[in-house]
Amino acid sequence: MSNAEQRFNQLTNYLIKQNLDMSQREIPFEGGRLRIFFIKQIIDVPLLSQNVIRPLINNCARSKKPITAEHALNRILFSSVCSVSKDDAAIVDLLLSGNVVILFSNDEQYLIVKLKRIEHRNISEPEIEYSLRGSKDCFIENLDVNISLIRYRIKDNMLRLKMIDVGKRTKTRIAIVYIEDIASDVLVGEIQKRIEDINIDGIVDSGEIQEFLLNKKFSLFPQMGLVERSDFACRLLLGGRVITLVDGSALALSAPATFLEFFYSCDDCYENKFFGMFMRIIRYISLFAALTASSLYVALTSFHTDALPSDYAILLAEMNAAVPFPSVVGAFLVEFLMEIIRESLLRVPRRIGSAIGVVGAIVIGQAAISSGLFSPLLLIIASLSLLTSFVVPDYTLVNAVRILKFILLLFTCLFGFYGFSIFMCLILAELVSINSFGLPYMVPLAPFNRYDFFRAFMENNTISPFRKKYMHNKNRKRTRKI
Amino acid sequence: MHKKIISMLQVAVLLLCCSGCWDSKDINDKAILATVLLDKQNGNYVFYVEVAHTDRSGGPEGQSASPEKFTIIRGEGKTLIEARDELDRRLKYPIYISAVRSLIITQNFAREDIAEYFNRLRADVEYRKKVISVTTDADPEELLNIFGREESVGLYIEKTLDQMTSYRQMIRRSSSIFIESLSSKYCGFLIPDIGINQNMIDVKGFSVVLGSKVVGFIPANEWNGIIFINAGRPEIEYVIPFEDKMLTFLISLNNRDIKPTYKNGIVKFDLKFDFKAELQYTSGRCPCKFTEKQFDQMSDIITSVLKKDIEDAINTSQRKFGGDYFDFNRRFHAAYPTQYHKMSWDKAYSKAEFNVQVKVKTKELKMFDYRAHGAE
C-alpha cells in the first residue's frame, strides 16, 4: 500500500469518526479511487451532483490514467470556486464552512469545492427603521446577501471589505465595510483591532460584537449605531463611517456614532430639508420629554407648586383631589404600568399585540380614571412620555432613556427640582465624557463646532458640499458647489 | 473611586439640606387661595379669602359635581396675626398663597394703613410679588359673592385690568412696586379702585396713596392725564367737535420726555409729549378728504385738549392731594440725588413748576373718499 493510499484511509477513518453528520461518496477510477465528503445541510446538493459528481463519474469511467487533484481541478470540475490543498488539519473546518472536500487515494493533495448554501429568508421590509419614503430593502441574516445589497448601491472600486472570523466554535464571519478614500484609516484600524482582539467561543449576533467594541463598558448610552436598512448603511459609508456586518445578524453596526446622530432618520435626507429640520427638532424635544415629563410633573405638583400659574394649580388640584396616592407614588406606578405594556407588546405575537394594546389602553386609560386611581393629567403625561420615546429612530438610545427616567424620577421624588437638576447634570457629564471610537459623543455641541452644529439641524447636500468636519475624513468634499 | 463616592455622598447630604421628600406636599393637599380681601370692621382686621373648591368634582365618575368653584372663608382678629390664625383654624388644608391673583383692600382698611400688610406680603416668600392690588368701597361679602362663587373674583379683576392694560388704557402696577415705594423716602402711588355697578365689577378709578394710606380718589373720567404721564404707550380715544361734526380720534403717545431741573431751590419739570392722532370716523356723512389746513386746525384743538388733561392731572396732585403719585420724585432723585436727599419732596413738589409741551400729528385713517365713487 502506497503512502498516499495509507494517508487516504487514515483521513477517511478520521473524518468518519468526527461524527459531523457527514455524507460521502466514493468513485473508483483507473489505479485508484476518490472520496467526496460534504455536509448536505449546508451545501447546494443539486449543484454538487451537476458540477462535481457527474463530470467526475464521466471522466473516471473513461480515463485510462489515474486522476489527481490538480487534474480534476483543471480539467474535470465545472465549479467556479475550487482549489487544492495539502493541509489535513483544515479539512474539518472546511467541511463545516460549507465546502466539499474530495480526497484522492493516489494523491497527497485534496480538492476543495465551495458549494455553500444556507437557507435564509427573503429580503423583507424594515421593522425598526421604518421610513415613509426610503427604500424598503433591509439587511437579513445572510452576510453575502447583505454585502450584495451594499455593492448594489455603491459601485465604487474603493469600497473595501475586511473579513474576520470571530469565535473559536462559531467562527462567525464579520465584515468590516468602508470606503477607503473617505473613511479614516485610524478608525478602520481601531475597529479591526478591537474585533481581532475578541477572544470568545462564539458570537451569534451583532449585539454581542457591539458589547465588545464599546469604549466604556458600563455606559448606558449606545456608542454604535444600529443599521437595518441597506440604503441608510450606504449613506453612512458615504459619510465616512465604518459598517460592521455580522453573519447571522440582520442588524449592522455603524461607527462612530455621536449622540445627535441617533436622531437622524433616512427620511430627513429624502424629504424637504426644512421638514427634515423640523422633524429633528421634534425628536430632540421628544427625547427630552420622554426623559423628564413625569419627573417635572412630580416636581411641580409635590415640591414647587408655586411655579405653577394659578389656573393650572387649581385645575391640577381638582384633578388630583380624589386620587388616593401622592403624586410621587402615582408617577412611579403609572410609569411601571407603561413599561409593562410596552414590554408585553414587544414580546407577544403581532396578531394579539393589538389586542393587548387595546386592553392596556382601556385598563389604564378608562378604568384608572373612572375609578379615580390616577390623575388624568398623570396618565396624559405618562402616555406622552411613552409616545415621545417612539419618536427617536434608534431604539437603543431610548432604552437608555427608559432606565434614566426612573432614576431621574427617584431623584426628583427625593429632592424636588434640586434632585432633578443634579441628575440632569450627571447625565450631561456622562454624555460629554464618553466617546465613540475616539470621537466625542456630544460633538458638535461639545466640543462646539459651528459648521457642524447647524448641520445637526439641517443636513442637505445641496446646502453644504462637505462631509462633517468632526469625522476627519480623508476626502471632505461630497458635491461640487452649486 | 472612593473619592467619587465620598463626593457624591457629600452632594446628597447637601441636597438634603436644600430640600427633601419631607418638603413635598401635593397641590391637592393645599387650600389654594385665588383672592385675598382685607377689611377693617369695628376696629378689627378681617380677612376674606376665596379658596378654590378642589374637592367638588374630584372622585370617581358619576358623582355629582358642585357648581360652586370657590368657598369664601372669613377670619377676624384684633391684629393681622389673630385674623390669620382664625382663618387657619377654619381651613381644611394649609394655605397656599402663591396662586393669589388679586389683593383687594377695602377703603376702610386702606384709609388707615396699608403699609403693614404690604410689609407682611414682602416677608412672605410664597406670596407672589406680582399680585394685583386694588381698593374697593364695596361690601366685601357682596363683592366676593357677585358671581355666585362659580368664578373667581380675583381672577376676574386681574383679567379686567390686564385687558385694559393691553388696550393701553390702564397703568399696570404690581404689588412689588407698591412695596418698593413704601420702603423709599417718599411714598406716593395710585391703586386701581373697583366697585360694583349694576351687579357687575367695575373699575371706577384710582385711589391715591400718599404716605402709607389712601387719601383720595380720582374717578375714571378724570384719569386720561394720569394715563398719558404714567402708562407705557397709552392709546385713548377722544371725541373732538370740529365744524358741525364730532370727530373720533385714537390718540396714541409716540414719545414722552420728562426732564427735571433744579435752580434757586425751585424744582421744574419739562414734559414733552409727542402724540399721534388717527381720525377713526366722524358723525354724519363723511365729507370728502379733509384739507391740510383742516387737519392743522384739528391738531390745534387736540393739542389744547390733551395739554389741559395733563395739566389738570398734575394740578390735582399738587393742589388737591398735595402729593406726587406720578413718580416724578424718582426722576428728580436720579437727576439730583444730593439735593433730593436734603429736601422735603412734599413741599418741593407742591411748589414745583411744570412746563407741558404737547405735539400732535394728525392723520386720517379708514375714511371714505366719496369723491372716488362719483359723489360731489
Say how far apart CA B11 and CA B18 lie, in whole Å. Answer: 11
- Going by pLDDT thresholds of 50, 70 and 90, the confidence category of residue B281 is confident
Chain segment A323-351, per-residue pLDDT in tens: 888 888 889 998 998 888 888 877 777 77
Q: In this complex, is the C-beta atom of A311 within 8 Å of any C-beta atom belonging to chain B?
A: yes
Q: Which of A306, A316, A372 sits opposite B126 (nearest CB)?
A: A306
pLDDT over 90 (residue B97): no
Q: Answer whether residue B152 is part of any domain.
A: yes
Is the backbone of residue B350 left (phi > 0), alpha (psi -120 to 50) or beta?
A: alpha
Spatial contact of A416 and A303, defined as CB atoms under 8 Å apart: yes
The answer to whether A136 touches A40, Cβ cutoff 8 Å, is no
Query: Residue A409's pLDDT band (boundaries 50, 70, 90)?
Result: very high
Q: Which amino acid is at A200?
A: I
Residue B6 belongs to some domain of the structure: no
Whole-number pLDDT of residue B139: 93
Lowest-pLDDT range, A157-161, A435-439, B362-366?
Answer: B362-366
Please tell me the predicted confidence (pLDDT) of residue B57: 52
Least confident of A99-103, A108-112, A117-121, B366-370: B366-370
Are residues A301 and A316 in contact, defined by beta-carbon separation less than 8 angstroms? yes
Closest-CA residue to B339 (of B229, B263, B247) = B263
By CA distance, what is A317's nearest residue in B? Answer: B28
- pLDDT for A79 beyond 80: yes
Single out the residue in B195, B220, B245 at which a domain terminates. B220
Residues of B in contact with A422 (CB under 8 A): 11, 15
What average pLDDT is seen over chain A? 86
Q: What is the pLDDT of residues B156-179, one digit of tens each?
A: 999 999 888 887 777 777 888 888
Q: Taking CB atoms and an 8 Å limit, are A317 and B54 in contact across chains?
A: yes
Q: At residue B137, what is the residue type?
A: D
Is B179 found in the same domain as B276?
A: no
Nearest CA in chain A to B23: A303
Looking at the fold, whether B201 and B248 belong to one and the same domain comes out as no
Question: How wide is the angle at C-alpha A19 spanned by C-alphas A18 and A24, nearest 5°?
Answer: 95
How far A381 CA lies from chain B's nearest CA (Å)?
17
- Interface residue A202 vs chain B (CB under 8 A): no
Q: Within this chain, do residues B186 and B322 fall inside the same structural domain, yes or no?
A: no
Yes or no: say if B355 and B269 are a contact pair by the CB < 8 Å rule. yes
Helix (H) or strand (E) holding A93: helix A91-96
pLDDT single digits (tens) A455-482: 777 777 777 778 888 888 888 877 765 4
**Domain membership flag for residue B5:** no
B interface with A, Cβ–Cβ < 8 A, is 11, 15-16, 18-21, 23-28, 30, 32, 34, 52, 54-61, 96, 98-101, 126, 128, 155
Task: Classify residue B54 as exposed, middle or buried by CB count within 10 Å of its CB (0-12, 13-18, 19+).
Answer: buried
* Number of domains, chain B: 2
Q: Are B194 and B85 members of one domain? A: yes
- Which residue among B20, B54, B61 places its CB closest to the CB of A321? B54
Q: At B20, is the pLDDT very low, low, confident or very high (cuts 50, 70, 90)?
A: low
Residue B9 lies in a domain: no
Task: Report which of A134, A194, A207, A192 is spatially closest to residue A160, judged by C-alpha positions.
Answer: A192
Euclidean distance between CA atoms A377 and B46, whole angstroms: 37
**Cα separation of A249 and A166, whole Å?**
14
DSSP state of B317: I
Which member of B18, B60, B96 has the closest CB to residue A371?
B60
Q: Do residues B252 and B233 touch, judged by C-beta distance below 8 A?
A: yes
Q: Which domain does B367 fall in, by range?
A: 223-376
Name the band, by pLDDT with cuts 50, 70 and 90, for residue B59. very low
Q: Could you report the per-residue pLDDT of A138-154, keeping only the tens digit for each?
A: 899 888 889 999 999 99
Residue-level pLDDT at B304: 94
Do strands B95-96 and B102-106 pair parallel, antiparallel, or not at all (unpaired)? unpaired
Which residue in B has a C-alpha nearest to residue A306's C-alpha?
B98
Among B16, B54, B98, the residue with its CB nearest the CB of A318 is B54
User: Does residue B75 lie in a domain region?
Assistant: yes
- State residue A404's pLDDT score: 95
Do B215 and B234 fall into the same domain? no
Domain stop point among B220, B245, B265: B220
Pick among A305, A311, A410, A426 to test the B interface (most B CBs inside 10 A): A305
Residues B41 and B190 in one domain: yes
Predicted confidence at residue B374, as pLDDT, reads 52
CA A359 to chain B, closest CA, distance in angstroms equals 20
pLDDT digits (tens, 9 = 90+) for A241-276: 999 999 989 999 998 999 998 888 878 878 888 888
Amino acid at A11: L
Pick from B1, B18, B54, B63 the residue to mutate for testing the A interface (most A CBs within 10 Å): B54
B263 and B193 within one domain: no
Residues B161 and B251 in one domain: no
Mean pLDDT for chain B?
Answer: 86
pLDDT (mean) for A30-45:
88
Provide the sign of the torsion angle of the four alpha carbons A443, A444, A446, A449, taken in this order: positive
Chain B nearest-CA residue for A372: B60
Q: In the block, which residue shows the cell 391715591?
A: B208
How high is the ipTM of this complex? 0.72
Specify whether B199 is located in the same domain as B234: no
B98: closest CA of chain A, how far (Å): 5
pLDDT at position B60 is: 47
pLDDT given at position B62: 46
Round to whole Å and give the CA distance between A126 and A470. Answer: 30
Please check whether residues B251 and B112 belong to one and the same domain: no
Residue finishing a domain among B187, B220, B253? B220
Task: Report how far residue A351's alpha carbon sits from residue A223's, in angstroms, rounded to the nearest whole number.
Answer: 34
Q: List the domain boundaries for chain A.
A: 3-114, 143-257, 272-440
Q: Does A410 touch chain B (CB under 8 A)?
A: no
Closest by Cβ to A302, choosing from B26, B52, B101: B26
C-alpha angle B320/B326/B328, rounded to 5°?
110
pLDDT of residue B58: 44
Is residue B13 in a domain? no
CATH of the domain at B314: 3.30.300.210
What number of other Cβ atoms are within 10 A of residue B303's Cβ?
A: 18
**Grid cell listed for A47:** 449543484
Contact assignment for A303 to B24 by CB distance below 8 Å? yes
A119 touches chain B (CB under 8 A): no
